[in-house]
């Protein structure tokens, strides 16, 4: 029997299709299956896979300008999940559709009355505002079914939303991978090409240079027309292994502001070097955004750029069609034609073209001094007499020349440990263990490891005290030290409810803050019974809406509100009131 040998490239392509079934924009997404989730013209404040802090944006943000706009089921379906949280998506609804997709609606102000009643009953049963009810459709009785066009909720500003809008997603139900909703023929007007603002060039080893320098160089870009861009300089000399990044944003019709792009291509001398599109991704790989961007540039200037070269430990499926890592060897004394093409989801195209000169001058730049060298694929350990660090394998995106030092600061209970540089991104959490001396047992549970930023501002990294060591895990490098948190959260209110008749009020609300370890729990009681306080984390707002079904009207009541931080410091607010 003869064995037919498949082409290696064909095998690789089949594997890509198997593991990443929705990785190509050529996928035949249904174009007229879904209706709009709103009843007004869609304008966007955010697009799919936009570069956000520590993640790619997993949907589109539809402007609502205010809360309370009706939200509609985009197709027939069954509610599979309802989630309520103080941050993140806030109030969110998930609907599974028979065609294999799931629609997600987030930052809602409220659900339909039936869902509201169901959620509230679950919150009271669990004595928790935050709740995540998953796999609803697997129950014997499908609790909530909606027809296409039915009202399912109302838009809002809940969770981590920074302004009223509807966050809308479409996911492949089986894998839960989000997919660009703009590929499904929603009526969104976009006839404008993206804009390109800056080009960045990176020497990728110590034998490479850009205009004679071994550091990142930036080149300003300006438009020659609405879709073609040129550099403001024609003097670019490149030597050795070089990578590029581009700062580009999309603009849409009938809206202001800028959104994320969809696709990037790089050609050098007409050869395609880089080609990727943001059509779908796994939530498990969303944090790779910190390798896709120039993390150092983002930390310093809050500027997110698209790199066209790939670090060794960046596993984003966006790059699955690329034949190389996107870098290029400039080793000949000649002109190179370089062309960037940037597309939005509707294939409007912006192009940047320029010529660079190959510089054959061989220069070797000195290696930077370091404490240790860490290989990204290995588990790495570092210890001194008073600290131990453990980095799991694949914690770094590339090999790292690790640097460490200490300094003294009487403000803290330990030395300040300078753990490399906060401008280096990590792929995983690592552990920090700091040895403590002469700590009173009564204070050991109040110890906190804090990160100290460039402005000396402290943020808690947590910590547990065990056998003379305080231990925590973090995903950030930088300056760390140990301090005590003995100050309880604050509870304040603009209205004094004590011994007042507040029967005309619909709710009571409080401002709750903690300056260090952060608020961990909150609980309210009226007449010694648990009541539902909702927490708006971004605004430090904790509020209770009077519930006629659970609270007797025209009666004197007693309120207790408990707020506790992460190390157990607790504040209590108590008062009598009439409602």
Q: Which residue has the tokens 């550099």?
A: 231
pLDDT digits (tens, 9 = 90+) for 131-173: 999 877 665 557 899 999 999 999 999 999 999 999 999 999 9
Burial 228-256 (b: 16+ CB within 10 A, else e): ebebeeeebbbbbbbbbbbbbbbbbeebe
3-state SS, one letter per residue, for 486-502: CCCCEEECCCCCCCEEC
468 and 555 co-located in one domain = no
C-alpha to C-alpha distance for 550 and 77, rounded to whole angstroms = 33
What CATH number does residue 553 fall under? 2.60.40.1220
Q: Is residue 367 one of the residues assigned to a domain?
A: no
Q: Is residue 9 one of the residues assigned to a domain?
A: no
**Residue 311's CB: how many other CB atoms inside 10 A?**
21
Phi-psi region of 147 (alpha: psi -120 to 50; beta: other; left: phi over 0): beta
CA 240 to chain centre: 34
Token pair, residue 1, equals 């029997």
144 and 236 co-located in one domain = no
The answer to whether the beta carbons of residues 569 and 486 sit under 8 Å apart is yes
Q: Is residue 190 one of the residues assigned to a domain?
A: no
**Adjacent-strand bridge partners of 77:** 146
β-bridge pairing 570-578 and 500-501: parallel
Count Cβ atoms within 10 A of the Cβ of residue 438 and give its class: 0-12 exposed, 13-18 middle, 19 or more buried.
exposed
The answer to whether the beta carbons of residues 342 and 264 sit under 8 Å apart is yes
- Domain end, chosen from 430, 457, 484, is at 484
DSSP 409-431: -TTSSS-EEEES-TTSEEEEEEE
Q: Is residue 339 one of the residues assigned to a domain?
A: yes
40 and 147 co-located in one domain = yes
The answer to whether the beta carbons of residues 91 and 111 sit under 8 Å apart is yes
246 and 383 co-located in one domain = no
What is the DSSP-derived secondary structure letter of residue 259?
A: B
pLDDT digits (tens, 9 = 90+) for 119-130: 999 999 999 999
C-alpha to C-alpha distance for 502 and 493, rounded to whole angstroms = 14
What CATH number does residue 397 fall under? 2.60.220.30
C-alpha to C-alpha distance for 278 and 221, rounded to whole angstroms = 24
User: Which CA distances in Å does 274 have to 1, 236, 277, 325?
Assistant: 42, 20, 10, 8
pLDDT digits (tens, 9 = 90+) for 285-336: 999 999 999 999 999 999 999 999 999 999 999 998 898 999 999 999 999 9
pLDDT of residue 139: 59
Q: Which residue has the tokens 């809002």?
A: 156
pLDDT digits (tens, 9 = 90+) for 33-57: 999 999 999 999 999 999 999 999 9
pLDDT of residue 15: 40
- Domain end, chosen from 183, 210, 243, is at 183
Q: How many CA atoms lie within 13 A of 558 on its CB side?
A: 4
Q: Is residue 103 one of the residues assigned to a domain?
A: yes
Q: Is residue 221 one of the residues assigned to a domain?
A: yes
- Domain end, chosen from 454, 484, 514, is at 484
199 and 336 co-located in one domain = yes
Summarize the confidence of residues 429-454 as an average pLDDT.
95
C-alpha to C-alpha distance for 516 and 569, rounded to whole angstroms = 11
pLDDT of residue 141: 58
354 and 503 co-located in one domain = no
Q: Is residue 189 one of the residues assigned to a domain?
A: no
pLDDT of residue 26: 53
Does the pLDDT value for residue 9 go beyond 70? Answer: no
56 and 87 co-located in one domain = yes
pLDDT of residue 336: 98
The answer to whether the beta carbons of residues 433 and 471 sit under 8 Å apart is yes
Angle at 368 between CA 366 and CA 370, to 5 degrees: 145
327 and 433 co-located in one domain = no
51 and 177 co-located in one domain = yes
What CATH number does residue 171 fall under? 2.70.70.10
Lowest mean pLDDT among 139-148, 169-178, 558-567: 139-148
Q: Which residue has the higher pLDDT, 28 or 325?
A: 325
Of 281, 339, 244, residue with least CA distance to 23: 281
Phi/psi at 71 (5° precision): -120, 135
**Residue 6's CB: how many other CB atoms inside 10 A?**
9
Does the pLDDT value for residue 14 go beyond 50? Answer: no
Phi/psi at 13 (5° precision): -65, -40
Q: Is residue 216 one of the residues assigned to a domain?
A: yes
For the stretch 464-473, contacts whose Cβ atoms lie closer than 8 Å and that sit 24 or more positions apart, written own/partner, are: 465/436, 465/439, 468/435, 468/436, 468/437, 469/433, 469/434, 469/435, 469/436, 470/433, 470/434, 470/436, 471/431, 471/432, 471/433, 471/434, 472/431, 472/432, 473/429, 473/430, 473/431, 473/432
Angle at 357 between CA 334 and CA 362, to 5 degrees: 85
Q: Is the dihedral of CA 306, 13, 426, 374 positive or negative?
A: negative
Of 276, 395, 383, residue with least CA distance to 324: 276
User: Domain limits at 530?
Assistant: 490-578
Token pair, residue 380, equals 């790495």
353 and 235 co-located in one domain = yes
- When divided into structural domains, the chain yields a total of 4
* Three-state SS at 286: helix
45 and 117 co-located in one domain = yes
558 and 537 co-located in one domain = yes
Secondary element (H or E) of residue 266: strand 263-268
C-alpha to C-alpha distance for 109 and 155, rounded to whole angstroms = 5
Of 419, 420, 378, 422, residue with least CA distance to 398: 378
C-alpha to C-alpha distance for 305 and 199, rounded to whole angstroms = 9
């Amino acid at each position: 029997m003869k064995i037919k040998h498949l082409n290696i490239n064909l095998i690789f392509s089949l594997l890509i299709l198997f593991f990443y079934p929705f990785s190509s924009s050529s996928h035949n997404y249904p174009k007229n299956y879904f209706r709009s989730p709103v009843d007004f013209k869609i304008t966007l404040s955010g697009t799919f896979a936009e570069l956000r802090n520590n993640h790619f944006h997993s949907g589109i943000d539809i402007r609502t300008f205010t809360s309370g706009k009706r939200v509609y089921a985009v197709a027939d379906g069954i509610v599979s999940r309802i989630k309520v949280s103080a941050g993140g998506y806030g109030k969110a609804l998930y609907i599974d559709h028979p065609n294999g997709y799931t629609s997600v609606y987030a930052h809602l102000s409220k659900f339909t009355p039936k869902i509201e009643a169901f959620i509230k009953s679950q919150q009271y049963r669990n004595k928790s505002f935050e709740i995540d009810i998953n796999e609803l459709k697997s129950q014997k009785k499908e609790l909530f079914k909606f027809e296409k066009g039915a009202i399912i909720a109302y838009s809002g500003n809940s969770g981590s939303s920074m302004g009223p809008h509807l966050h809308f997603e479409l996911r492949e139900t089986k894998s839960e991978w989000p997919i660009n909703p703009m590929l499904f023929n929603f009526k969104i007007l976009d006839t404008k090409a993206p804009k390109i603002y800056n080009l960045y060039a990176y020497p990728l080893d110590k034998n490479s240079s850009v205009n004679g320098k071994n550091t990142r160089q930036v080149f300003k870009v300006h438009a020659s027309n609405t879709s073609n861009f040129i550099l403001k300089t024609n003097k670019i000399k490149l030597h050795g292994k070089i990578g590029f990044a581009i700062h580009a944003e999309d603009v849409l019709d009938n809206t202001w502001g800028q959104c994320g792009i969809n696709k990037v291509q790089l050609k050098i001398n007409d050869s395609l070097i880089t080609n990727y599109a943001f059509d779908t991704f796994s939530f498990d790989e969303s944090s790779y955004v910190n390798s896709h961007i120039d993390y150092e540039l983002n930390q310093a200037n809050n500027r997110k750029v698209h790199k066209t070269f790939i670090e060794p430990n960046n596993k984003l499926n966006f790059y699955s069609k690329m034949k190389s890592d996107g870098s290029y060897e400039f080793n000949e004394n000649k002109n190179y034609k370089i062309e960037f093409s940037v597309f939005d989801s509707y294939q409007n195209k912006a192009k940047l073209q320029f010529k660079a000169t190959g510089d054959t001058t061989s220069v070797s730049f000195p290696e930077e001094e370091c404490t240790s060298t860490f290989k990204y694929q290995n588990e790495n350990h570092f210890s001194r007499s008073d600290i131990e660090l453990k980095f799991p394998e694949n914690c770094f995106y590339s090999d790292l020349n690790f640097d460490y030092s200490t300094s003294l600061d009487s403000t803290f209970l330990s030395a300040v440990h300078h753990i490399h540089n906060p401008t280096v991104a990590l792929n995983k959490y690592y552990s920090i263990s700091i040895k403590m001396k002469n700590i009173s047992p009564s204070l050991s549970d109040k110890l906190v490891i804090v990160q100290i930023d460039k402005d000396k501002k402290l943020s808690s990294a947590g910590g547990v005290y065990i056998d003379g060591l305080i231990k925590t895990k973090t995903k950030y490098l930088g300056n760390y030290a140990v301090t005590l948190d003995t100050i309880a959260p604050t509870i304040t209110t603009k209205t004094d409810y004590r011994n007042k008749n507040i029967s005309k009020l619909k709710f009571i609300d409080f401002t709750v803050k903690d300056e260090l370890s952060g608020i961990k729990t909150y609980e309210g009681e009226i007449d010694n019974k648990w009541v539902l306080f909702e927490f708006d984390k971004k605004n430090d707002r904790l509020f209770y809406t009077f519930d006629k079904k659970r609270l007797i009207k025209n009666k004197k009541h007693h309120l207790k509100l408990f707020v506790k931080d992460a190390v157990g410091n607790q504040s209590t607010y108590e008062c009598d009131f009439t409602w």
